[in-house]
Structure 1
Amino acid sequence: MIAGIVLEKHLEQVSERRQLKITRKTIADMNELLKKNNITDFPDYRHIGLLAGLYQLCVQNKKREPEPSEVADLINGTDKVIKTIF
C-alpha cells in the first residue's frame, strides 16, 4: 500500500529535519523516536501506531484482507499526519 510507504518516508524526513538519529526506518520505530523527543503528543503517537498496524495488515500475508474502510483510514490518516506533523 502506497500510503504506508508515504507515511514512512514522511516520518523519516521529519526525524532527519529534527536531527534525530534513526536506527531503524520502520513506522513504529520512528513513531517511538518522535514521541520520545516530544515531537508528537500522545494522541498523535497512538494515531500513527494505528496507521502502522493498518499498513502491516495491508502488506503482510495474514489470514484476512484489510476491509475497504481500513484502507480508507490508512489513506486519510496518512494525509492527516503529512499535514499536521512537521
Structure 2
Amino acid sequence: MAPAEPWQCPQCGRSWEPFPSSVEYPERSAGLMDDRVFVTILIVLGAVALGCLAISREAFAVAFCAIFVVALARGWREFRNM
C-alpha cells in the first residue's frame, strides 16, 4: 500500500507523491461477457448440441466441446481478473 504522505528517497532525495486511491485500486470494469451473456451463450450452445445429437454423435461431440471451451474461457477470464 502506498504511503498517504509525500515520501523522499533517502539516497537521491527525490520526492514522490502518493497515487490517488483510484489509481491504486482501479474499479473492475464490466467486460463483454457478463453473467447474462455467458448463460445465454451456454443455453444456445446446449440447444445446438441437442440438435446435433439428432444428426450424428460426432456433431454432438463437437458441439459439446464448444460448450466446454466457452466455459473454460469464462473461467480463465475470471481467474485473470482476481
TM bracket, shorter-chain basis: 0.3 to 0.5
- TM-score w.r.t. the length of structure 2 is 0.35
Higher relative contact order (CA 8 A, sep 6+): 1
Q: Which has the higher strand share?
A: 2
Which is higher, the Rg of structure 1 or of structure 2?
A: 2
Q: What TM-score results when the alignment is normalised by the length of structure 1?
A: 0.34
